[in-house]
Structure 1
Amino acid sequence: MPSNIKVRKKTTRKNNSTDINLLVNTETDDVYFEWDRHKIVNALREEGGVGERTAKNIAKSVEQRVMDSGIKKITTSLIRELVDNELFELGYQKKLEKQASISLPKSDIEELIFSKSQENSNIGTNNPEAIQFSLSETALKQYALQEVFSEEVAEAHRTGKVHVHDLGHPTRIYAFSKDTKLIVKIDGDIREMTLEELYDCVDGISLQINETQHTKECSHSDMFVLDRNDWVKLNRVIFSDEVKDMVEFSVGGHIVKVTSDHGCVVKRNNRVIITRADEVKNTDEFMYVMKESVDGNMPNMQEKI
Structure 2
Amino acid sequence: MTNINSEDLKSIICTVSSHFSEDDNFPQMFVDNVCKKLEETDQDREKTILQVFQEMGRAEMIPFYHIYLKEKENTYNSLKQEKIEILVGPTSNDDYIPWETQKIAQALVREGGIPKSIAQKVALSVEQKVLHSDNRYISTALIRDLVNSELFLSGHGYYVKKQTVLGIPKYNLNSLLYTRNGENNIKNIQQLESKIASITFRQYALEEVFSKEVVQAHLSGIIHIEDLEWPVKYFSINSDIPSQFQVKKSSDIENIVELLANIQRVSQFISHSLNIYSIDTEEMNWNKSMLKSFISGISQNSFLSYNIILHRLESSFTDNLYKCYKDFSGNGKYKLPRFWVPINPESFENKKLLKKIGNIALTTNNINFYFKPQNLYDEENKPRTGCAMNAFVINILRAALTAKTKESLWQELKETFNLTVKAHLDKKRFLFNLSDGTLTQLTQYNNICQVDINDSICFLSIAGLPEAISFLCDGNDMSAGEGWELAIEILERLNEMAVNLEQRYDIRIRLVDYSNSKAVQHFENVHKSILSKLPINKYTFGPHFSENTEMNHREKILKEGQLHQYIKSYINIKDIKDGKSLLSLLEFTYQETDANILRVI
How far 1:236 moved relative to its partner? 4.2
Counterpart residue number, 1:148: 209
Which structure: greater strand fraction?
1
Whole-Å separation in 1 of the counterparts to 2:189 and 2:594: 38
Instruction: Decide whether the 8 Å contact of 1:7 with 1:76 is kept in 2.
Output: no
SS of structure 2 residue aligned to 1:40:
helix
Equivalent position to 1:250, from 490, 506, 513: 513
User: Could you say if the C-alpha distance between residues 228 and 253 of structure 1 is closer, same or farther in structure 2, counting changes exceeding 3 Å?
Assistant: farther
Counterpart residue number, 2:532: none
Q: Does 2:101 align with 1:37?
A: yes
Equivalent residues in 2 for 1:71-82 (5 A)?
Answer: 71-82=135-146
Counterpart residue number, 1:100: 164
Whole-Å separation in 1 of the counterparts to 2:212 and 2:141: 27
Match for 2:574: what amino acid?
N
Whole-Å separation in 2 of the counterparts to 1:146 and 1:72: 34
Whole-Å separation in 1 of the counterparts to 2:113 and 2:259: 44
Equivalent residues in 2 for 1:287-298 (5 A)?
Answer: none
Whole-Å separation in 2 of the counterparts to 1:92 and 1:250: 46
CA shift digits 1:90-133 (9 cap, x unpaired): 3434421211111211222244453844xxxxx5x544332222
Q: Does 2:88 align with 1:8?
A: yes
Whole-Å separation in 2 of the counterparts to 1:286 and 1:227: 30
Q: Does 2:216 align with 1:165?
A: no
Match for 1:59: what amino acid?
A
Match for 1:31: what amino acid?
Y
Equivalent position to 2:575, from 270, 281, 285: 270
Whole-Å separation in 1 of the counterparts to 2:242 and 2:119: 52
How far 1:84 moved relative to its partner? 1.0
CA radius of gyration, larger in: 2
How far 1:78 moved relative to its partner? 1.4
Which structure: greater helix fraction?
2
Instruction: Decide whether the 8 Å contact of 1:45 with 1:55 is kept in 2.
Output: yes
Instruction: Decide whether the 8 Å contact of 2:148 with 2:160 is kept in 1.
Output: yes
- List gaps (5 residues or longer) in structure 1: 14-27, 118-122, 186-216, 218-223, 238-243, 255-259, 288-305
User: Could you say if the C-alpha distance between residues 265 and 59 of structure 1 is closer, same or farther in structure 2, counting changes exceeding 3 Å?
Assistant: closer
Q: Does 2:123 align with 1:59?
A: yes
Equivalent residues in 2 for 1:147-296 (5 A)?
Answer: 147-175=208-236, 230=262, 236=283, 246=373, 248=376, 249-252=512-515, 267-271=572-576, 273=582, 275=586, 279=593, 285=599
SS of structure 2 residue aligned to 1:174:
strand
Match for 2:160: what amino acid?
L
How far 1:164 moved relative to its partner? 2.2
Whole-Å separation in 2 of the counterparts to 1:105 and 1:70: 25
Whole-Å separation in 1 of the counterparts to 2:187 and 2:223: 27
Match for 1:41: what amino acid?
A
How far 1:11 moved relative to its partner? 4.1
How far 1:174 moved relative to its partner? 1.6
**Root-mean-square deviation over aligned CA pairs:** 4.5
How far 1:283 moved relative to its partner? 10
User: Could you say if the C-alpha distance between residues 281 and 60 of structure 1 is closer, same or farther in structure 2, counting changes exceeding 3 Å?
Assistant: same
User: Could you say if the C-alpha distance between residues 109 and 12 of structure 1 is closer, same or farther in structure 2, counting changes exceeding 3 Å?
Assistant: closer
Whole-Å separation in 1 of the counterparts to 2:594 and 2:199: 36
Q: With the length of structure 1 as denominator, give the TM-score of the two structures.
A: 0.55
Instruction: Decide whether the 8 Å contact of 2:112 with 2:162 is kept in 1.
Output: yes
Counterpart residue number, 1:24: none
Equivalent position to 2:149, from 63, 67, 85: 85
- List gaps (5 residues or longer) in structure 2: 1-79, 249-254, 264-277, 285-370, 377-511, 518-564
Instruction: Decide whether the 8 Å contact of 1:5 with 1:71 is kept in 2.
Output: no
Q: Does 2:197 align with 1:136?
A: yes
Instruction: Decide whether the 8 Å contact of 2:571 with 2:597 is kept in 1.
Output: no
User: Could you say if the C-alpha distance between residues 108 and 73 of structure 1 is closer, same or farther in structure 2, counting changes exceeding 3 Å?
Assistant: closer
CA shift digits 1:187-237 (9 cap, x unpaired): xxxxxxxxxxxxxxxxxxxxxxxxxxxxxx9xxxxxx9x989739999749
Counterpart residue number, 1:109: 173
Match for 1:268: what amino acid?
I
Runs of 4+ off more than 6 Å:
182-185, 226-229, 231-235
Q: Which fold has the larger relative contact order, with Cα–Cα distance below 8 Å and residues 6 or more apart in sequence?
A: 2
User: Could you say if the C-alpha distance between residues 280 and 64 of structure 1 is closer, same or farther in structure 2, counting changes exceeding 3 Å?
Assistant: farther
Identity of paired residues, percent?
Answer: 25
